[in-house]
Amino acid sequence: MIRALLLLTILWTFTLIMLGAYVRLSDAGLGCPDWPGCYGQLTAPDEPHEITQAEQTFGGEVHAGKGSKEMLHRYVAAGLGVLVLALAMVLWRQRPERLPRWLIVLPVLLIVFQALLGMWTVTLKLMPAVVTAHLLGGMILCALLVAMAGRIATPLPTTFSGVRSCCYLALLLLTGQIVLGGWVSTNYAGLACATSVLCQNELAGNHSVWDAFRPDRVLGQTADGASLSLAHLAAIQSLHRLGAMLVLLVVGRLIYVLHQRSSRLALPLAAALLLQIGLGMSNVLFSLPLPLAVAHNGGAALLLAILVFITVRLPAAQYTATARLNATWVRSLL
């Protein structure tokens, strides 16, 4: 039962990540100007009298289609909250070996924080820092659930202990790349570079591009209130592309090391990496079509999940004789 419930929760989380990307990239993030309802209702207004009442109460034009997308996202998120809570209760009572209690509790706390970020996304009018944090929270939640699955699964043999540092470095860089990808998406900078790989032409002669990375600014503006220029957006996209190159090198090295020990672990990671790189390039070549842009978000979640699953299954670190002697000496002083 635990494995089935955990698998369902992971798949639900993955679906929610994709749905959130679809809502954001289809410009429906403010389809409902209030939270948690939509124009004061449980569903988006679609009848003529409901639309008229909503426009009179909230002002502006009502887009029923965008509101429906946003409310679907919120209801799916609520369903995930129920699943995560149920999973935590089951795991708390029947805690499997190698599964620490903090790993059971943390997803529940993260779901609560995600709900707050969802509210702030609306009240702060798609502030990039908040929306990026919301995206990253979904990725972290997926990673935590996959880490649970890895803890329940059989640990890898001791021959894999040598890849620990490679896995940690890959996880660190991939997490940073996901943050950069979120910053690209939330600032709508996906098509800021079209003439060169690292946007040299778009960045030429501009010395204020780092204003684009300040977290205390609103959407489309610098912290001083000026409008973001193409150079600002190109800076965001350029750093994301540079990060992709670093991830390709580090994860590629990890795949090579894993392949020397087991192709069963290396091949899924290699396939996910190539898929994600291909999706990133396709988004640029085909001018960011919505299906490919959404799939790029899903590809990041898949790559992260595979990497986390491998990392948490690594055998426990073995102390060397020197390390054991030093630990004994330290304990004797306490």
d(C-alpha 247, C-alpha 242), whole Å: 9
Write out the catalytic residue numbers: 70
